[in-house]
Structure 1
Amino acid sequence: MSDVNAVSVAACTYQGASRKFVVEAERFYPQRDDAKGRRDSLTRFIAAYLPAALKAAGCTA
C-alpha cells in the first residue's frame, strides 16, 4: 500500500482448485498534499471492492 496504489491478495478456491486472487488499484491524485487521506481512501476502496470481486469471480472459501 502506498498513497497512490494498493495491492491485495486473497485466497480463492475456484472450481475446487486453490488459487490466489489479486486486486491492484491505482489512483491519480492531482493534489498530493494528503498522503494519509489517500491511503485511507484506497484502504476503504479495497475493503469494499475485494469481497464483491471474489464473489463475482466465483471464488469460494
Structure 2
Amino acid sequence: EFYFFITFNAWIGRKALEIIIAKRLYYLFLKRGRKINNKMWYIQFPANLVGRFNIGTGTVGD
C-alpha cells in the first residue's frame, strides 16, 4: 500500500510536469504570433502534446 502511494505520487507529479511543459510551449506559440483561427487547433494541441509525453514515458494516455 505504501509502495502504491509513492508510485501514485510520482504519477501525479509527472502529470503536473507534463501540463506545465504543455502550457509553456502553448503560450510560446501564442506569443510568437501564430494565432490560428481554427479553434480545433487550440483544443487539440495541448492534448496531442500530453499524448506524446505519455508515449515517451512508456504509459498509455488517460
Q: Is TM > 0.5 for Structure 1 vs Structure 2?
A: no
TM-score class, shorter: 0.3 to 0.5
Where relative contact order (Cα < 8 A, 6+ residues apart) is larger, the structure is: 1
TM-score (norm 2): 0.40
Q: Which is helix-richer, 1 or 2? A: 2
Give the structure with higher Rg (CA).
2
Q: Which is strand-richer, 1 or 2? A: 1
